[in-house]
A and B are shown apart, each in its own frame.
Chain A
Amino acid sequence: MKLIQFASITKKMALAAFGLFLLLFLPVHLGINLCLLREDGGEWYRNASHFMGTNYIVKVFEIVLMASVLLHIIIAILLTIENFLARPVKYKVKSKTKTKTGSKYMIITGVVIACFLVLHFINFYFVKLDLIEGKYTAEIEKIDKHFQQKALKLQKGELNEKEQAQLMAQYQAISQVSQEKMDMSQKNLVNLSKEEVKLYCGEDFEEYEPDFYVMSQDLFSNRLYSIIYIFVFVILGLHLSHAIKSIAQTFGLNHNKYNYAIELVANSYAILIPIGFALIPIWIMYIK
Chain B
Amino acid sequence: MDFTLKIWRQENANAKGRFETYKINDISPDCSFLEMLDILNESLVNKLSHPVCFDNDCREGICGMCGLYINGHPHGPDQAITTCQLHMRKFKDKETIVIEPWRAKPFPIIRDLVVDRTALDKIIQEGGYVSVTTGGIPDGNAIPIPKYKADQAMDSASCIGCGACVAACKNASAMLFVSAKVTQLSLLPQGKPESSIRVQKMVAKMDELGFGNCTNTYACEAECPKEIKCSNIAKMNREFLFAKVCTEENI
Contacts and interface: CB of A to CB of B under 8 A. Distances in A.
Nearest to B171: A83
B112 interface: no
Contacts of A54: none
A8 B203 contact: yes
B118 interface: no
A82 B217 contact: no
B173 A86 contact: yes
Contact of A250 (B203, B216, B231): B216
B36 to A, nearest CB: 18
Interface residues of B, number: 50
A91 B72 contact: yes
Interface string B163-204: 000001011110100000000000000000000000010011
A11 B215 CA distance: 11
Contacts of A82: 212-213
B72 A95 contact: yes
A97 B78 CA distance: 11
Nearest to A253: B234
Contacts of A98: 222
Interface stretch (A99-107, A160-168, A197-205, A225-233): A99-107
Contacts of B200: 7
Contact of A104 (B98, B106, B217, B231): B217
Given A83-B170, A250-B216, A88 B105 contact: yes
B153 interface: no
A131 interface: no
Nearest to A76: B215
A9 B239 CA distance: 11
B240 A7 contact: yes
A97 B223 contact: yes
Contacts of B117: none
Contact of A8 (B71, B206, B241): B206
Interface in A57-99: 79, 82-83, 85-99
A153 B148 CA distance: 86
A252 interface: yes
Interface string A274-287: 00000000000000
A88 B172 CA distance: 10
Contact of A86 (B71, B172, B231): B172
Given A7-B203, A9-B237, A89-B103, A95 B170 contact: yes
A245 interface: yes
Interface string B7-32: 01000000000010000000000000
Nearest to B217: A103
A251 B238 CA distance: 6
Contact of A251 (B100, B231, B237): B237
B231 A100 contact: no
A123 B22 CA distance: 60
A254 B222 contact: no
B104 interface: yes
Contacts of A103: 215-218
Given A104-B170, A254-B234, A13 B100 contact: no
Contacts of B228: none
A87 B231 CA distance: 25
A2 interface: yes
A267 interface: no
Contacts of B215: 79, 83, 103, 106, 246
B59 interface: no
A91 B103 contact: yes
Interface in A220-268: 242, 245-246, 248-255
A89 B105 CA distance: 8
A80 to B, nearest CB: 9
A19 to B, nearest CB: 12
A172 interface: no
Quick one: which of A100, A246, A248, A250 has the most chain B CB within 10 A? A250
Contacts of A47: none
Cβ-closest 9 pairs across A and B: A252-B238, A254-B234, A86-B212, A96-B72, A83-B171, A86-B172, A83-B212, A93-B72, A252-B237
Interface of A: 1-2, 7-13, 79, 82-83, 85-100, 103-104, 106, 242, 245-246, 248-255
19 contacts: A8-B207, A8-B214, A11-B213, A83-B170, A83-B212, A86-B173, A87-B171, A87-B172, A91-B100, A91-B103, A95-B73, A97-B73, A100-B217, A103-B218, A249-B237, A250-B216, A252-B241, A254-B230, A255-B231
Interface of B: 6, 8, 19, 69, 71-73, 77, 98, 100, 103-106, 168, 170-173, 175, 200, 203-204, 206-208, 210-219, 222-223, 230-231, 233-241, 244
